[in-house]
Amino acid sequence: MYICLCEPVTDRDIKAAVHTGCRTVRDVAGQLGCCRDCGRCVRAAKEVIDAARAELPIRLHRSHTEVAAA
């Protein structure tokens, strides 16, 4: 399903980004380009990110910024 219409980004794209290291909307926006124009997709993107993070092994749940701060 398309999450962002300004940039053709799907839920699968976001899930793949999470599985390669993205943990936040900012991370996903930086990698895929979504959530930067009109902003309508931010809430849906966050829901997909949260669901994808829940599927990860527990040691991979932390974001890049959380790891850097630790």
Domain definitions of the chain by residue range: 2-69
- pLDDT by residue (tens digit) across 16-57? 999 999 999 999 999 999 999 999 999 999 999 999 999 988
- Residue 65: phi and psi, rounded to 5, are -70, -35
> Is residue 5's pLDDT more than 80?
yes
CA end-to-end span of the chain: 35
Q: What number of other Cβ atoms are within 10 A of residue 57's Cβ?
A: 6
**What is the CATH code of the structural domain delimited by 2-69?**
1.10.10.1100
What is the model's pLDDT at position 62?
58
Res 57: pLDDT? 83
